[in-house]
């Protein structure tokens, strides 16, 4: 019923494929218009309104190395570097298995 269509992005001018699956999805949702921007330009527009993440520095409770975290550390909870956090996560998963 649907076939892939090649469209031109109105933002960057590059060609992109509007797949048969995407067309079917648009029809199911009741969307009347075809996309006017490629996936990359849509993502860029979507992310343009988001403020950049603010990272904070803390000391890892397990190994003592410096860790950067995307939240403000509190003194009532331990902070782990990414390596120690993964070890904690793996250990918890092993216990629950």
- Confirm if 79 and 87 have CB atoms less than 8 A apart: no
Q: What is the pLDDT of residues 6-44, one digit of tens each?
A: 999 999 999 999 999 999 999 999 999 999 999 999 999
pLDDT computed for residue 53 by the predictor: 84
Distance (Å, whole) CA 66 – CA 78: 13
Q: What is the pLDDT of residues 57-94, one digit of tens each?
A: 999 999 999 999 999 998 889 999 999 999 989 998 88
Q: Is residue 97's pLDDT more than 80? A: no
pTM value is 0.52
pLDDT computed for residue 75 by the predictor: 84
Distance (Å, whole) CA 95 – CA 56: 31
- Which SS3 state, helix, strand or coil, does residue 6 take? strand
Determine how β-strand 15-18 pairs with β-strand 56-59: unpaired
């Amino acid at each position: 019923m649907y076939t892939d269509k090649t469209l031109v992005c109105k933002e960057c001018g590059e060609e992109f494929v509007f797949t048969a699956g995407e067309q079917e999805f648009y029809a199911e949702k009741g969307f009347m218009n075809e996309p006017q921007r490629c996936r990359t330009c849509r993502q860029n527009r979507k992310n343009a309104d988001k403020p950049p993440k603010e990272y904070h520095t803390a000391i890892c409770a397990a190994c003592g190395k410096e860790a950067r975290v995307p939240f403000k550390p509190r003194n009532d909870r331990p902070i782990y570097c990414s390596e120690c956090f993964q070890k904690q996560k793996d250990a918890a998963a092993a216990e629950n298995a």
